Amino acid sequence: MLATAVERAMPGLRIVREYRRAWLWADVRSGVVVTALLIPAGMGYAQVAGLPPVTGLYATIVPLLVYAVFGPSRILVLGPDSALAPIIAAAILPLAGGDPDRAVALAGLLAILVGAFMLLGALLRLGLVTDLLSKPVRVGYLNAIAVIVILTQVPTLLGFTIDRSGPWGNARGIATAVGAGEVVPLAAVLGVASLALILILRRFRSPVPGVLVAVVLGMVAVAAWGLDDRLAVVGALPQGLPAPALGGLRWDDAAALLAPAAGIALVAFTDSAVLSRTLAARRGESVSGNAELAGIGLANIGGGLLGGFPVSASSSRTPVADAAGSRTQLTGVVGAALIVVFMLVAPGLTRYLPEATLAAVVIAAVLTLIDVRAVGALWRMKRVDAGLSLLATVGVLVVGVLEGILVAVVLSLLTFVDRSWRPYRARLGRIPGRRGYHDLSRHPGEALPIPGALVLRFDAPLFFANGGVFADWVRAEVAAAGPEVRTVILAAEPITDVDTTAIDALLELDDSLAAQGIRLVLAEVKGPVKDVLRRYRALGRFEPDRLAPTVGAAVDEVTGTLRGDLG
């Protein structure tokens, strides 16, 4: 029992216990590949946040190690993020007053506060947001993320820069730069060749990852031909190890950073949770939203304590790890360890790493996220779900990741309400020689109605929005059936709940039918629904002879009575 509780709090221990030797090479290989992206991304986003480049490496190393122990996802790669960097800069730079050491301390405090908010969310079990992410929303989200990441990498692939301003702004910027002749031919050739090499080796299932081959060949080409003066390269690494850097902080600093920390926690968790849940589903795994909150929260606290700043799951590095064959969190551990080794032993190794090749690596990885077949399958199965998926894609592209996800979730909930408001309804009858009661509309000419009775089924809980719909439908069916109907049997098994508004509609329907000399019988009513009726004092209206245990029992009583009357 204790061991189970410990493993639940520290999922990494369970991975260690269950680890298979066959996974080792895949994890190590993936860690090597991802390291090539962790270094430039960490340093670059640190500069965007107004911090020294080395803090981006600290914000990569520590969270990866902490998440490997406490994080529930086997595939998620944490690190500095493009969506968070501008918010971090806006929060800390006005308070830092131009002092870089104070900026680093404030960034660490901000990460700690972000982690604290996430841990509080985990304690309050707010991770349920991930339960609202239906398959259409997840498919649409990944398709949009792939497009967003590709648009951010195309300029680097072709050797020019643009002012990033969202997907549409990036697309316009790319078109303008290409039209103005800003493409650097050497970078474009290297980047496109790297992308082609990766895709070709992937197509032919090469035992050596195409990503690794492209990175090594790119570095060799730059070093051998002295191209580092003509191409954008990652450059040499700063030296040092993660260390506490929280000196000089005041209580009023924490107060000033509370609101930004709450906003960053919301953005970081929502983005990370969607990515984690979606990729886990594709791998046949499941991830608890509350465990994800706790894992990412602890990773932020660890990073903040040791010179880092707020982080979240990476939508570019995680797909690279997935495409490289990562099996467990050991990929992140290998990546963190390699960064430390390079910083201490060979900081100049990345001096010849071309940025165009890294852009090709990212683009090749996120191409695996695009799933047009899934959208097509949704269209064939249920066009409403396909529409939700497309709306999720468009929403994320137009209004942003968080806002787009929220729009898609709200639309999903509205669709659920609509289905509950106007659920499937059926009149049931018998098919000779077959057990049970069947939908007359689905078995025309085969299923026969019950003489003297209407057997009706309403496939949803009864609540304030559909109580009137239900009652009007029953009245319409009674009117259409003609005067020979003396009993209405409600097959109530699909009705799993009923609220007070719907109870009023049910009682009014009963009065209306009684005035026409028609008896309403409820068959197969679930216990919880009976409890609600009892508390509302409505159960007394329906005596035991009007609460049939099964539809068959109610029909037998009607047909027996009918035979008696005829006799």
Name the 3-class secondary structure at 489.
strand
Beta strands 425-429 and 453-458: pairing type?
antiparallel
The predicted pLDDT at position 371 comes to 86
The predicted pLDDT at position 542 comes to 80
The predicted pLDDT at position 566 comes to 38
Q: What is the mean pLDDT of residues 16-20?
A: 91
| pLDDT reading at 362 higher than 50 | yes
Which range among 298-312, 314-328, 417-431 has the greatest average pLDDT?
298-312
Residue 326 backbone dihedrals phi, psi, to 5 degrees? -55, 140
Angle of CA points 174, 179, 180, to nearest 5°: 100
Q: Which long-range contacts (CB under 8 A, 24 or more apart) does 15-23 make?
A: 15/74, 15/328, 15/329, 15/330, 19/328, 19/330, 23/327, 23/328, 23/330
Is the pLDDT higher at 110 or at 532? Answer: 110
Q: What is the mean pLDDT of residues 156-172?
A: 87
CA-nearest of 453, 452, 462, 457 to 441 is 457
CA dist 363 to 44, 146, 188, 228, 534, Å? 18, 8, 14, 22, 61
195-206 residue pLDDT tens: 999 999 988 888
Angle of CA points 285, 287, 291, to nearest 5°: 155
The predicted pLDDT at position 238 comes to 82
The predicted pLDDT at position 402 comes to 66
Measured CA to CA, the distance from residue 386 to residue 140 in angstroms comes to 9
| pLDDT reading at 567 higher than 50 | no
The predicted pLDDT at position 192 comes to 96
Beta strands 425-429 and 312-313: pairing type?
unpaired
95-130 residue pLDDT tens: 999 899 999 999 999 999 999 999 999 998 888 766
Measured CA to CA, the distance from residue 88 to residue 95 in angstroms comes to 11
Where are the extended beta strands (E) located within 226-328? 312-313
Count other C-beta atoms under 10 Å from residue 461's C-beta.
16
Beta strands 425-429 and 438-439: pairing type?
antiparallel
Q: Which residues contact 419 (CB under 8 A, 6 or more apart)?
A: 460
39-76 residue pLDDT tens: 888 888 887 788 998 999 999 999 999 999 999 999 89
181-237 residue pLDDT tens: 999 999 999 999 999 999 999 888 887 778 888 988 999 999 999 888 888 888 888
The predicted pLDDT at position 564 comes to 42
Q: What is the mean pLDDT of residues 561-567?
A: 44
Is the pLDDT higher at 448 or at 145? Answer: 448
Angle of CA points 515, 517, 523, to nearest 5°: 105
Residue 462, Ramachandran bin (φ over 0: left; ψ between -120 and 50: alpha; else beta): beta
The predicted pLDDT at position 565 comes to 45
| pLDDT reading at 510 higher than 50 | yes
Q: Which residues are registered as beta bridge partners of 354?
A: 233
Q: What is the mean pLDDT of residues 413-437?
A: 86
Q: What is the mean pLDDT of residues 241-267?
A: 91
**Terminus-to-terminus CA distance in the chain, angstroms?**
68
- On average, the pLDDT of the chain sits at 88
In b/e form, how buried is each residue of 121-130, taking b as 16+ CB within 10 angstroms? bbeeebbebb
CA-nearest of 197, 185, 196, 194 to 160 is 185
395-404 residue pLDDT tens: 888 887 667 7
Measured CA to CA, the distance from residue 536 to residue 154 in angstroms comes to 64
Distance of CA 148 to the CA centre of its chain: 16
| pLDDT reading at 537 higher than 90 | no
Q: How many CA atoms lie within 13 A of 154 on its CB side?
A: 21
pLDDT classification of 511: cutoffs 50, 70, 90? very high
